[in-house]
Amino acid sequence: QLQLVESGGGLVQPGGSLRLSCAASGRTADYYAIGWFRQAPGKEREGVSCIDSSGGITKYADSVKGRFTISRDNAENTVYLQMNSLKAEDTAVYYCAAARAYYSLAPCYYAMDYWGKGTLVTVSS
């Protein structure tokens, strides 16, 4: 069983930056594609970004392209989401999720197997 724990959320002003972390435990995350998702109040959960097991393949939702960067450190079993130029509409609970997939983003975003409990990001002045 793979456990995922998100951290790094908080309150930030519009235009600011945050870096979210997703720490994996229980199993090595080397064989898993990992994605970031978010759910804003009153809205459905949406996929934000995903990274393959090697870190060499990524994808982003159009709404965050050019502002967010996903990366991973397999030695630390951690995936990051660097969020820059934050907007009020980025306010949401952010979740990370994982699916077993070697060198592939095929499970992203609709076939994820393991989920964290989320971290709240609030963008407000």
pLDDT tens column, 81-121:
999 999 999 999 999 999 999 898 888 989 999 999 999 99
- Beta-bridge mates of residue 97: 35, 115
pLDDT tens column, 32-84:
999 999 999 999 999 999 999 999 999 999 999 999 999 999 999 999 999 99
Q: Give the pLDDT confidence score for residue 24 in this predicted structure.
A: 95
Q: Give the pLDDT confidence score for residue 1 in this predicted structure.
A: 85
CB proximity list for 90: less than 8 A, separation 6 or greater: 38, 64, 83, 121, 123
